[in-house]
Amino acid sequence: MSTDFWRDKRVFITGATGLLGGWLVQRLHEHGASIVCLIRKRRQTDELPRLMRTGLMDRLTFVQGDVEDRALLLRTLSEHNIETVFHVAAQAIVASANRDPISTFETNVRGTWNILEACRLSPSVRALLMASSDKAYGDQEVLPYTEDMPLQGRQPYEASKSCADLVTQSYAHTFGLPAAITRCGNFFGGGDLNWNRVVPGTIRSIIRGERPVIRSDGQFVRDYFYIEDAAAAYMLLAERLMANPELKGLAFNFSNETQVTVLELVNLILRKMGSSLRPDVQNQPSKEIRNQFLSAERARRMLGWKPQFTLEEGLDRTIAWYREILIS
């Protein structure tokens, strides 16, 4: 990735206060981009402290609103002459999607077609990256997931990502919208304050001297993708997309291609933190897919991409971040 490519580039980020969005803000600012962030009205007081930790509050432009407001999105892109859009806003919690599927579909599907339509009508936009997920593939007989597999999510969160992914492909192929799609596994890294997720929840429990809880039987296999690698991958794909229109409409898996079970991951964190605690494996029934992991061969071949961190290196940096925040 070019060191000065992003200098003065006008960038719009939805979901800027989330885990991925926050790291994108930080990296893009470090590379000199001019950044506009979408902040939800109803939760702005909860979200802003995450951005305040980056020390960038006075250097960003904030727009209050939701991805469901198409007129606001179009106006924002026009007024700020936006060149690149990172659409990473989503309702990303599987349990919440099962409790409130309509809200999940409104945010993840309607929000996506709204940003796509706003980009279609904005002549300044040169690249749009839409965050899909490995969950969009649903349950497949053959693994790892590759980009040519059908999208067949069944549960509400999975289905919402399948739909948003397909709508993005439709806009790229029908209208020539310069859009590309990312499909990643489970993000982890400093800044994730959703303690129900396995990595931050495990680290916090160990710091508190409590046994980390595994709600399943611990044998679900997943990709765990370090968040700094994810932010760098998004920026690389956007840069390549602006240079090569043939990438529009394509999806790219990003993964370090190291698959572990939940139990293996928790035990690895315990060892790294020097803890003798044992996981509390609750073995609660779950409707989630047991095995999900990705091939990143297309990204390596077409983008020249490779992860900068191994799983263990990412965990080391993540543990250090939480120790500083939770202990200091």
With CA atoms as reference, report the closest residue to 96 among 107, 105, 104, 106. 104
Active-site residues: which are they?
157
Q: Give the whole-angstrom CA distance, residue 37 versus residue 32.
A: 15
In degrees rounded to 5, what are phi and psi of residue 85? -120, 130
Place of tokens 């799983």: 311
50 C-beta neighbours (distance < 10 Å), count: 18
Largest CA distance in the chain: 58
What is the DSSP code string of 29-61?
HHTT-EEEEEE-GGGHHHHHHHHHTTT-GGGSE
Q: Which two tokens stand for residue 258?
A: 């190291």
Task: Pull the structure tokens for residue 187.
Answer: 């993000």
